[in-house]
Chains A and B, each alone.
Chain A
Amino acid sequence: MSDSPYVQLLDLAKQFGKVRALDGLTLNIAQGELVALLGPSGCGKTTALRSLAGLQELDRGQMIVDGKDVTFQNASKRGMGMVFQAYSLFPHMTAGENVEYGLKLKAHKTAADKRRARSAELLEIVGLSSHRNHYPHQLSGGQQQRIALARALAISPKVLLLDEPLSALDAKVRTQLREEIRRIQLELGTTTLFVTHDQEEALSIADRVGVMRNGQLEQIAAPAELYDRPSTSFVAEFVGLTNPITGSVSGGSISILGKTLKTLPGSVTSGEGIALVRPESIRVKSSASGTARVFSTSFLGASCRLMVTLSDGTRITVQMPSSESIGLTAGESVELSVLDMPVFVKSAA
């Protein structure tokens, strides 16, 4: 990895009518890194990706890829490989022809025999060598997206751009394909920007995940850090589940459920605060004198999720290993405890 980031998006801004899709977005991506942009719809993540592809003009900002300013470069000359949310294979071409298409064009002109070899290689990588002569309508959704991935990779793109490529697929295929995308990305070392609204997808395959909100990057960090140490209440609440539990804050810690926990940077510093506690940070123990009651349980295999009603009527979600939840049933009196992990505390107002 070189000193300066491979991809630099600097202060990008774009307005659509009254909607500010990008509002000073700055993002760096290192070479070979997979960065996922995560956010609710309308947060500007797709606009950011399309800008980098050259499909969206910007109002302001600069984009540098591999040391070159590409801000005003035409999409056809940027050398970005893109996989779209909608199926985008050319319907009149076979899978093989689709993969070879970019290599026939002036920008990536390749001799016929090399072209064939390259497309064979990529079809092999995505595991569809035997489907070379199939037309898109003869392929399933997952297969089409794999061919689209092979097509985008065939031109040896500077950056691979994935615009929610899995969102049209069913759950099983989605999980399978996202792992495959990660494998291929690591194998080829392609710098990748992946846009998704599915947090599980982002957290499971990205080196770093950027959470976007209102056209800006709210926080960007490695998945575990983002999950365990959110820097804003938006990130805490958007990524994963949280239970809002009220307590009093003082000196960088909050007392809830009879325990004093450290607060994360960015939290409320004094007075009343709401701690955002992960379901798996809470433990439940059967106790006749407990003030909380189990409302419902759902078995998830390795873990078990319980809804627990507190004495004041608030309901919280607890997720714990199935082995520890054996015997807990709805209506049972329980005692709650919380694991000693720093939490993010937002203002109670």
Chain B
Amino acid sequence: MKRTWKVQLWRRTIMGVVALYLLLPLYSMFDFSTKPFGFADNGRTLRAWKVIPSQPDLGVAIARSLITAGIVMLLILVMIVPTVIWVQLKLPKLRRPLELLCLLPLAIPAIVLVVGIAPLYRWISINLTESPITLAGVYSMLILPYTYRSLSAALDAVDIHTLAEAAQTLGASTFRMISGIIMPTIRTGIINGSFIAIALVLGEYTISNILNYKTIQVVIAQIGRSSGNVAVAVSLASLIFVLVLLLLVPSAKRRQEVLDVDLA
């Protein structure tokens, strides 16, 4: 009894410390954003928060970033997920190379990546479009390490070979087998991978700034140059926004409760 009490205390202490570590900066941001920042202010004020909607470019930047994130998510669904499944099922020898390839964006600093990719984007902006949405291309590369991990973990957790063969013998084509059986089976992994990708896309600054695209983070930085309080308020707001988005990830509905098990 005494031991469990101690374990409980230990657990709570760790949780408390971690929570403090994570929440303190957020609280500080909130604290800073409510400090007086003009002669008209008298004590605490929510003025920095109230002016957020009237910031030029901010609304457009948010919309663009969300569209970009949507496109990245689509690319994950139609390109990355089927590729990873296909390699796992039919080309197991390519698993290691693919894993390595997907980890590369982690090893290459963003700044180096930009230098390499800048000429391509210069060409795109001159010949095709100047829309920041084209960043979806480079972002879908950046997110690979995270998406690949969560997909491969989900694929390893089930015997997809047997499921695939069962579907085949029942008459399923390869397309139906992947879209109707394997993808729903690793649904949680796909959702998790996609949401990590979205968080990454919404938080990306280096590449878009250097390539001179006005994404949400770039606009926040711009605001910061004219008013620190507003910039911090906007960052906090965007953090909370992403947090809410991530909390919406259907909490892995692994219906684990065994309702009705009897012998045979």
**Chain A residues in contact with chain B, CB under 8 A?**
53-55, 75-82, 84, 86-88, 90-92, 101-102, 105-108, 131, 134-135, 137-140, 142-143, 146, 148, 151-152, 155, 161, 172-173, 176-177
Contact = CB atoms under 8 A, between A and B. Distances in A.
A106 B263 contact: no
A108 B159 contact: no
Contacts of B173: 76, 106
B126 interface: no
A83 B234 CA distance: 57
B153 to A, nearest CB: 16
A172 B263 contact: yes
B264 A176 contact: yes
A105 B176 contact: yes
B170 interface: yes
Query: Considering residues A80, A91, A106, A177, which has the most beta carbons from chain B within 10 angstroms of its beta carbon?
Result: A91
**Which secondary structure dominates where chain B touches chain A?**
loop
A78 B264 contact: no
A102 B171 contact: yes
A84 B170 CA distance: 13
A213 to B, nearest CB: 26
A82 B158 contact: no
Contacts of A87: 159, 162
Contacts of B166: 82, 84, 88, 90, 148, 151
B163 interface: yes
A80 to B, nearest CB: 6
Interface stretch (B75-83, B241-249, B254-262): B254-262
A160 B73 CA distance: 42
A137 B159 contact: no
A105 B263 contact: no
Contacts of A107: 170-171
Contact of B162 (A77, A86, A102, A146): A86
A84 B259 contact: no
Contacts of B167: 90, 101
A1 B163 CA distance: 34
Interface in B179-200: 181, 184-185, 187
Contacts of B262: 140
B41 interface: no
A168 to B, nearest CB: 12
A91 B185 contact: yes
Contacts of A151: 166, 170
A92 B154 CA distance: 14
B189 to A, nearest CB: 13
Contacts of B256: 137
B42 interface: no
Given A140-B261, A177-B264, A76 B169 contact: yes
29 contacts: A54-B168, A55-B168, A75-B169, A84-B165, A87-B159, A88-B159, A88-B162, A88-B166, A90-B167, A92-B184, A92-B187, A102-B170, A102-B171, A105-B171, A105-B172, A105-B176, A107-B170, A107-B171, A108-B170, A134-B260, A137-B255, A137-B258, A138-B259, A139-B261, A142-B264, A143-B264, A146-B264, A148-B166, A177-B264
Contact of B170 (A86, A92, A155, A161): A155
B154 to A, nearest CB: 12
A140 B171 contact: no
Contact of B165 (A55, A105, A138, A146): A55
Contact of B169 (A80, A91, A135, A139): A80
